[in-house]
Amino acid sequence: MKKLAVVAFGGNALLRGDQKGTISEQELNARETCLNLVGLVKNKYDIVITHGNGPQVGNILLQNNAGAKLYGLPEMPLDICGSYSQGFIGYIIEQQFRNILEEQNLVKDVITIVTQVLVDKDDPAFKNPTKPVGPFYTKEEADKISKETKSVFAEDPRGRGWRKVVASPVPLIIANRKTIESIARNGQIVISVGGGGIPVYYKRPNFLEGIDAVIDKDLASSLLAIQIHADEFYILTDVPKVCINFNKPNEKQLDVITVAEAKQYLAEGHFTEGSMAPKIRAAINFTENGAGETIITEASQLSNPNCGTKIIK
């Protein structure tokens, strides 16, 4: 029986912390990660790939800002910048995966879908924006932009200036989910929900509009996995297994844990916000509400059938 898997690429799948972010670097990283997915393809898995976009959309916002300052070009809103990043990151992954498939005589299409994700404009997150995006500004610049655009700014804890902060609402519905599932179950590889998807809301009945927000990409990926009835959900990160008591003498790798155990470890503070905690929440969301298990692991481990930490009901 063929299985449908959603595979969420971690940030290092495209850009490593010590890299500048050139296209050559990102292409090489994407190729390396895609090579690790070939085993799933050969094992008769249908695959949907999701990915982050944090560094890339940050660079787009910087370019946006520089163009406005130097040449008077209109700055694009965050939803448009997110769509830019979905397109170019999808192109990189698509091209590298296609090259690998051709090298290994595997015949499949690879399709990138720029994906909108519905959120609730009354989500409490919009009353308390906390997600920093874009460049650093002086206090004077931040105040001026805030007055002109009604954007919210917060001072950086490390004293590097002021940054725009946006909401991180809960994703509700993945656009084109039926088409994504149909294409994937037809044996083709789909790239979707890049950067958590482009957040949109109903401004009025039957009228969608983008909104300044950033959806957590692991949570959006887990929702996609639920809504396309995936059998398995893979979250790729930079460690082979999830650990409790991380970096302590009593550190312990987790092989298989239940949703209840994952919730307990999360409540006990074993997982760091901005790192493993969102991945654990996404794993809980899929495994609790979907029909399969979640595997959190490093991409290079995928060839091992017992790889990673499995979260089961």
- Give the number of residues written for the chain: 313
Burial class of residue 79 in the structure, from the number of CB atoms within 10 Å of its CB (0-12 exposed, 13-18 middle, 19+ buried): middle
- Catalytic pick among 164, 241, 279, 310: 279
Backbone torsions φ then ψ of 246, nearest 5 degrees: -60, 135
CA distance 61 to 57: 6
Annotated catalytic, 29? no
Active site residue 131: yes
Active site residue 2: no
* Pick from 268, 262, 273: nearest CA to 245: 268
Catalytic residue among 108, 121, 131, 263: 131
Rounded Cα distance between 30 and 22, Å, is 12
Q: Is 217 an annotated catalytic residue?
A: yes
Establish whether 144 is a catalytic residue: no
Catalytic residue among 10, 12, 36, 196: 12
DSSP 10: -
Give dist(CA 304, CA 300) in Å, integer: 9
Catalytic residue (choose from 164, 217, 241, 310): 217
- Which residues belong to the active site? 11-12, 131, 217, 279
